[in-house]
Structure 1
Amino acid sequence: MRLLILSLFIIANVSNNSKASLESFLPSNDNIFLTDTTKSSDKSCNRPCKFNVKPRRCHYDFEISPAFGEDERPALTVNGQTPGPSIHVCLHDIIVVKVKNKIPSQDITMHWHGIEQKGTPYMDGVPMITQCPISYGSVYEYAFAASAPGTFFYHSDSVLHQSDGVYGALIVEQPQPLEPHAALYDYDRSDEHTLLIGARFPELLTAKLEDTNQIRPDGILINGHEVSTKIFVIPGYGYRLRLVNAIALECPLVIHVYRHVMTVIATDGKSVQPATATAVKLYPGERMDVVIRADQQTGGYWIDVTGEGDCEGLKAQAMLLYSGFNYTSMLTEEPNADTDSGLETRDTISSQHLQSHRDVPSVSSVKSIYLGIDKTYPKFKDSDIDFRYISDAVPKKPFIPAVLSSLDNVLQINGKNFLYPNAPYLLKPRDVRPDTVCLVGEEKSNKQPQCLMVLNAKLNEVVELVLANEGLRHNDSYTFHMHGYGLQVVTTWRSPDNKPINRAEVQRLERDGKITRNLKNPPVKDTFMVPNKGLTVVRFTPTVGGSWLLECRSCSFSLPVAIIISVPLSIPKLVLDSLPSCGNYRPADVLLN
């Protein structure tokens, strides 16, 4: 079996894409992109962040390649390891990452989850939207500013690649006095106290040619391990822990520390009003910063991570160890309810119900958009199925993707699945075939089952998205991720009688005042959950231009569920010329999806 899996990676066609050079373009008016501000011989960017110190330019080289892990399972690795190397920088540093693709016959891009990419929307890492994919043997250089502090992470844009191991932590720190809740803790050791939680699969998903929707993880990993991650603390002190759900499937995680309470101080990199509970829940892609005080009897305590949804029944544990305690005794004793008096009365916090650290200003007008999420049952004849990529030579022939013939139901937004364009939408909008585009709200005018769904927004226009998980043909909740912007989550509502909803029902509930909004201090998030037979309402104000994806990464391995939010932007020709050109490149739909 090992030989068979490795053989899948041997045969490949090598492409020589050019690479974007940091020195060849000016992403913004800030000339620190062109000047090396690292004056000392110490090139490390993982350092205490101080005032009145010029930002550094932090260089990383990532080689993405297949390998076998310690457990002899195949995986995709970043520099030979999974999770990949952590990126620790200070606010306003410039992060430069050269990504080399060494996965034969596969294209990749790298997304920097939660980074807003102010001034550099072409570094967001979405294939055929913000860049050309990185083909085998090619190198792509990402360069962007760490423009906001917080807990982030990076991962391959492909759900399969991320699930196979291409992900890692990305932490942006700032001088301690700038932290709104610095008084609540004594230590912030982000390189030691970050819990990056991923999933382990029984086989390499990237190597599967058939549908992978039914393959579920068989384990949860904390920093790459099931039980060996350790958090060391000194009695009497408070510690900031950074929690990251880096699983691409719909796997909510409940995290609990035995006999300790957690105080949540930030979610998705944004500060919130402190809230205390004995457990927290993180949905896929969410991050949460919590404070734990070492106020119990000196000893060792388990940190429990319990999976839900697609990870139902899976667990992982880390250790919270007080200084001087010999933890070897914990390795021979399994934690159970009898060892923790707080388990039976556990209260759990999820981030969408928190309140922002700062109030938001009121607005006079809002552009409201309804996005209905539900499954459909496509029925197509074999003669309808089209096995080609969208061809310029046959512009009027309906494109029915082959995957539709093998699925019993397909999740869609407003009755459509997302179609990746034939040219990078942000960089070459005029090269995108207009007959593949459908505007959000006008999807019925396009007869294709897939289209490039675009929501046009104006700069500084307040946009409200009503995401309604209608639940007529399914009973699942879904997690969405917004690129480029933080969203105000003004309400999360679920039908009290557990009945399906639709646009007319939502409008009736709105008129009757049954759906209330927190317009004073809603949490600001880039990742949020939409409950089954319920809705989540989010607001944002586009302040920078770009083509930003709003996607449900965990919804499907086969057909993407997403829209593009397009905000006017003029990219200088100097920048466009410096970025790799796709030429006549046409990625296979299965790789993009």
Structure 2
Amino acid sequence: MKLFVFCFFVIANISNNGKASLESFAPSSDTNFLTDTTHKSDKSCHRPCKFNVKPRRCYYNFEVEPSIHDDGPALTINGFSPGPALHACVHDIIIVQVKNKIPDQDLAIHWHGLEQRGTPYMDGVPMITQCPINYGSTFKYAFKVSSPGTFFYHAYSVTHQSDGVYGSLIVDQPQPLEPHSSLYDYDRSQEHTLIIGARFPELLSASLNVINDIPPSSLVINGDVKGTKIFVMQSYGYRLRLINAIGLECPILVSINDHLMTVVASDGKPVQPVTTAAVKLYPGERMDVVVRADQTSGGYWLMAKGESACDNLKARSMFIYSGFNYTSMLEEVPSNELNYDSSSVITGQKLLSNKDVNIANKIKSFYLGIDKNAIKVKDEDLDYRYTSDAVPKKPTYPSVLSLTDSVVQINGKNFLFPNAPLLLKPRDVFNHIVCDVGAEEKHYDVQCLQTLKTTNEEVELILVNEGFNSNDSYTFHMHGYGMHVVASWQSPAGLPLSRKEFEKLDRDGLIVRNLQNPPIKDTIAVPNKGFTIVRINPDYGGTWLLECRSCSLTLPVAILISTPISLPKAVVDTLPSCGSYKPADVLLH
């Protein structure tokens, strides 16, 4: 009988693995990766995380399509915006099958903040890590969540994200491993995650007006303008997870009437606790805060106030003590004034890492000058073809430049998406479109594939928002790697900052770098007429974007950080092939 059972087990496993699939390939030596240890019939992965328990596979199906809501049209995931809240324990495997039902448009889903160690082909950047998901097609994402924290997912396209394709992703770990668990009594991530989005008067992805910005009409928290409720018991402390899921340049101020917040994590990484009355989150940024219900029993307003592109927009949630009848708050009109001192607002870059780090004092630096530039072109210079179809005989310009006065650039260039997925088919990418970061002047076109090649050595990136032609601040997101934010500064006199002036400040020792306990972040703000300096340790391979998603809907603003990696042929062959697909560059952003 034992022999029969053993043979049956072997045959079953051979049958199950007879057809090659992405789930068959482990990206690391972890033998538990993609091993189905789910015992519950509902495949739920939202549960208390425990020690010495094998990871689970967490299955989700996404259907992304246009829908009509009470307040107008939206792009939804399974009929909802935000989409499903994903919960997992560290080392679980998340498997999401995405079907694109947006007519005549391509799609990709980015898992914001996840490192994708061993699975760089799951980062969700079209023509860099994958082929776009065409209308009517399906793509399966499968990756291990290797670190705990507050993350979220969104469509890679800013217009799709703005139209509603986003949702929360929370990765928990056993409670004893949480460094600040003594500060709170409850971490109810399913009820106390607040994901802040923006609504627009029309679908951006359906608008023909791709040049002039269409301002958002309202802010929403968990898809609602004013109805989200947070229930608490008096004298207890609660961990709230705040997510700014807005694709445009919309910093958000968050405060709770008569309550203080203690920040315990930023972008999924623990920080030294800081208590404040208000926090500011830039687009894509997350903060975990602890709030103690230490006031008179009742109902209080949590307020979210927008800045920049979301100026004068507000959303609110109810912070309700147990036993309080909150019906009176439904008709209450809260004060538009937020009760905090603006000088006390905490931002992620002001925080300190919870642990000291070992960062070298002198390493190789790369200057990234950011500014909005006017590009003068003649009608005969404009290129109405697919940018990567052929080697141009003279400098050519994307046709979108005929419709705009100026564009944001890095080192005088805009990013060009390659003609083939760079990570999967590097030999198919045209060499003439590539330019090295720091040597962009050698490339004669407005756009090029700006690439910084690394060899597993720590590098410093100096992002200077020069501010000669703009008064805007910009938010950048780093895919794949965490960034140590070692310095940030803004001119108190409001004067533009050139490369020559920055280098003089640095030579004179006037730029102080925090090399002991800088915060580790994947989303940073670069203030106008100022700079932000980060250190990156590219200790695992992949092709990763450092991008300003909110800088432009037309000409991308980014660089690519490429670290050597050899992908198994079986993985590359399993992933979808783009074939002869050559999207217009403007459609990818």
* Post-superposition offset of 1:393: 4.4
Partner of 2:379: 382
Partner of 2:535: 539
State the superposition RMSD in angstroms.
1.5
Q: Secondary structure at the match of 2:528?
A: coil
* Post-superposition offset of 1:197: 0.1
Partner of 1:316: 315
CA-to-partner distance for each residue in 1:90-145, whole Å, 9 max, x for gaps? Answer: 11000000000000100010000000000000000000000000000111000000
Matches within 5 A, 1:389-400: 389-400=386-397
Partner of 1:231: 230
Distance in 1 (CA, whole Å) between partners of 2:336 and 2:166 is 33
* CA distance 1:522–1:416, change in 2 (3 Å): same
* Post-superposition offset of 1:189: 0.2
- For the pair 1:373 / 2:366, whether they are aligned, the reply is no
Partner of 1:16: none
Matches within 5 A, 1:417-436: 417-436=414-433
* Post-superposition offset of 1:590: 2.3
Partner of 1:439: 436
Distance in 2 (CA, whole Å) between partners of 1:413 and 1:149 is 33
Confirm or deny: 8 A CA contact 1:301 1:321 kept in the other structure.
yes
* Post-superposition offset of 1:578: 0.9
* Post-superposition offset of 1:21: 3.2
Q: Which one of the candidate residues 393, 407, 410 is aligned to 1:410? A: 407
Gaps of 5+ in 1: 1-18
Q: Secondary structure at the match of 2:380?
A: helix
Q: Which one of the candidate residues 472, 495, 509 is aligned to 1:513? A: 509
TM-score (norm 1): 0.94
* CA distance 1:158–1:496, change in 2 (3 Å): same
Matches within 5 A, 1:61-210: 61-71=61-71, 73-210=72-209
* CA distance 1:578–1:344, change in 2 (3 Å): closer
Distance in 2 (CA, whole Å) between partners of 1:368 and 1:256 is 38
Confirm or deny: 8 A CA contact 2:22 2:571 kept in the other structure.
no
Q: Secondary structure at the match of 2:397?
A: coil
* Post-superposition offset of 1:497: 1.6
Q: Secondary structure at the match of 2:545?
A: strand
* Post-superposition offset of 1:22: 3.1
Partner of 2:564: 568
* Post-superposition offset of 1:350: 0.6
Letter in 2 for 1:377: A
Confirm or deny: 8 A CA contact 2:387 2:585 kept in the other structure.
no
CA-to-partner distance for each residue in 1:254-296, whole Å, 9 max, x for gaps? Answer: 0010000000000000000000000000000000000000000
* CA distance 1:63–1:397, change in 2 (3 Å): farther
Confirm or deny: 8 A CA contact 2:248 2:550 kept in the other structure.
yes
Letter in 2 for 1:133: P
- For the pair 1:587 / 2:583, whether they are aligned, the reply is yes
* Post-superposition offset of 1:31: 3.1
Matches within 5 A, 1:237-252: 237-252=236-251
* Post-superposition offset of 1:337: 7.1
Q: Secondary structure at the match of 1:408?
A: coil
Q: Secondary structure at the match of 2:571?
A: helix
Distance in 2 (CA, whole Å) between partners of 1:212 and 1:100 is 29
Q: Secondary structure at the match of 1:333?
A: coil
Partner of 1:5: none
Partner of 1:13: none
Q: Secondary structure at the match of 2:383?
A: coil
* Post-superposition offset of 1:570: 0.8
- For the pair 1:489 / 2:488, whether they are aligned, the reply is no
Q: Secondary structure at the match of 1:441?
A: coil
Q: Secondary structure at the match of 2:32?
A: helix
Partner of 2:279: 280
* CA distance 1:337–1:105, change in 2 (3 Å): closer
CA-to-partner distance for each residue in 1:136-186, whole Å, 9 max, x for gaps? Answer: 011100000010000000000000000000000000001111000000000
Distance in 2 (CA, whole Å) between partners of 1:296 and 1:217 is 35
Letter in 2 for 1:100: K
* Post-superposition offset of 1:347: 2.3
Confirm or deny: 8 A CA contact 2:34 2:93 kept in the other structure.
no
* CA distance 1:493–1:394, change in 2 (3 Å): closer
- For the pair 1:350 / 2:385, whether they are aligned, the reply is no
Distance in 2 (CA, whole Å) between partners of 1:445 and 1:192 is 53
Gaps of 5+ in 2: 1-18
Distance in 1 (CA, whole Å) between partners of 2:228 and 2:427 is 50
Distance in 1 (CA, whole Å) between partners of 2:70 and 2:357 is 49
Partner of 1:254: 253
Confirm or deny: 8 A CA contact 2:464 2:529 kept in the other structure.
yes
Letter in 2 for 1:462: E
Identity of aligned residues (%): 64
Query: How many equivalent residue pairs?
Result: 571
Distance in 1 (CA, whole Å) between partners of 2:255 and 2:220 is 15
Letter in 2 for 1:369: F
* CA distance 1:496–1:502, change in 2 (3 Å): same
Confirm or deny: 8 A CA contact 2:391 2:432 kept in the other structure.
no
Letter in 1 for 2:28: S
Confirm or deny: 8 A CA contact 2:34 2:57 kept in the other structure.
no
Letter in 1 for 2:141: Y
Confirm or deny: 8 A CA contact 1:494 1:532 kept in the other structure.
yes
Letter in 2 for 1:489: V
Letter in 2 for 1:21: S
* Post-superposition offset of 1:397: 4.8
Distance in 2 (CA, whole Å) between partners of 1:458 and 1:185 is 42
* Post-superposition offset of 1:244: 0.1
Distance in 2 (CA, whole Å) between partners of 1:277 and 1:570 is 46
Distance in 2 (CA, whole Å) between partners of 1:484 and 1:393 is 31
CA-to-partner distance for each residue in 1:524-574, whole Å, 9 max, x for gaps? Answer: 000000000000000011110000000000101111000000001111111
Distance in 2 (CA, whole Å) between partners of 1:576 and 1:42 is 31
* CA distance 1:326–1:365, change in 2 (3 Å): same
Distance in 2 (CA, whole Å) between partners of 1:41 and 1:500 is 61
- For the pair 1:475 / 2:474, whether they are aligned, the reply is no
Distance in 1 (CA, whole Å) between partners of 2:391 and 2:503 is 41
Confirm or deny: 8 A CA contact 1:101 1:138 kept in the other structure.
yes
Distance in 2 (CA, whole Å) between partners of 1:135 and 1:278 is 46
Partner of 2:5: none
Partner of 2:12: none
* Post-superposition offset of 1:391: 4.6
Q: Secondary structure at the match of 1:103?
A: coil
Partner of 1:9: none
Q: Secondary structure at the match of 1:54?
A: coil
CA-to-partner distance for each residue in 1:457-495, whole Å, 9 max, x for gaps? Answer: 111x11000000000000000000000011000011111
Partner of 1:44: 44
- For the pair 1:26 / 2:22, whether they are aligned, the reply is no
Q: Secondary structure at the match of 1:31?
A: coil
Confirm or deny: 8 A CA contact 1:370 1:465 kept in the other structure.
yes
Q: Which one of the candidate residues 451, 454, 464 is aligned to 1:457? A: 454
* CA distance 1:136–1:512, change in 2 (3 Å): same
Distance in 1 (CA, whole Å) between partners of 2:454 and 2:131 is 24
Letter in 1 for 2:412: G
Distance in 2 (CA, whole Å) between partners of 1:346 and 1:229 is 28
